[in-house]
Chain A
Amino acid sequence: DQQVKQNSPSLSVQEGRISILNCDYTNSMFDYFLWYKKYPAEGPTFLISISSIKDKNEDGRFTVFLNKSAKHLSLHIVPSQPGDSAVYFCAASRGTNAGKSTFGDGTTLTVKP
C-alpha cells in the first residue's frame, strides 16, 4: 500500500504561468510534509516543508498548501521558470524525524520557454 501518492507522473506548463503539483497521503499519522526537487544525475534537494498545524507555507515563488481533512497537499510555483524543470517529490513523516520520510513517486515538471 503506497502511503504517499503523486498521481500525475508529469506536468507541462508555460514559462510565467502557475505550476501546481499534487500529493495525496493515506496515513493520518503523518504530520510533517516536505517537497524535494531533483535534477538528473543529482540527489534530491529540499524545497519547502509544512507542519500539520499549518495549512499554508510560502517561500518566494513556492507555496505549499495542506488540506488535512482531504489528506492532500499541493505545491504551487508562481511564476514558473524553465530552471524549475525537474522531478518533484512529495515526502511525509511522522513525529519529528523528517529524515525517516515516505516518498511519493515524483512528478516530472517541464516548464516551456
Chain B
Amino acid sequence: DAGVIQSPRHEVTEMGQEVTLRCKPISGHNSLFWYRQTMMRGLELLIYFNNNVPIDDSGMPEDRFSAKMPNASFSTLKIQPSEPRDSAVYFCASSSRTGANSPLHFGNGTRLTVT
C-alpha cells in the first residue's frame, strides 16, 4: 500500500500565479479530504468528497480556491490567483468508509510558499 500520494512536496510561486496541488488517495478509499495547516489556524478542513462528489466545501476560504475529483484515484486543489496568505502546508487525506468512524490516512503534504 503506497499510501496517499501528494505532489509536489514543495511549491514556491509568486503572488498572482495559479497553483495546482495533486493527490492520489489510497486505492479503495471512497472519501477524500483536503486540509490546510497554518500557524494561525492549525489544521482546518477545506473540502471533502464522497465517491468523487463534493459534499462539504464550507471550509474553502475564497472563490480563488477550487477542488475537483474527476475519478476515484485523483484530486486537485487549485488556487487562482495565489496570495502570500495562502502559504501553508496542504494535506490530502482519504478514508475507507463514510457513515462509519474510519480514521483519516494523510499524505505527506505540499508546502506552499507564495512570495
Contact = CB atoms under 8 A, between A and B. Distances in A.
Given A32-B101, A99-B102, A101-B45, A43 B95 contact: no
A49 B103 contact: yes
A96 B102 CA distance: 8
A73 to B, nearest CB: 15
A96 B101 CA distance: 5
Interface residues of B, number: 24
B42 A99 contact: no
Given A43-B107, A99-B33, A104 B42 contact: yes
B102 A98 contact: yes
Contacts of B31: 99
A93 B91 CA distance: 18
A40 to B, nearest CB: 10
B108 to A, nearest CB: 5
Instruction: State the main secondary structure of chain A at its contact with B.
Output: loop
B108 A98 contact: no
Nearest to A34: B103
A73 B101 CA distance: 18
B98 A43 contact: no
Given A43-B109, A105-B42, A98 B99 contact: no
A99 B95 contact: yes
Interface string A62-106: 000000000000000000000000000100010011111111111
CB-based closest 9 A-B pairs: A43-B106, A46-B103, A103-B43, A98-B101, A105-B42, A99-B95, A44-B106, A43-B108, A99-B33
Interface of A: 32, 34, 36, 41-46, 49, 51, 89, 93, 96-106
9 contacts: A36-B103, A41-B108, A43-B4, A44-B43, A45-B106, A98-B95, A98-B102, A99-B48, A103-B42
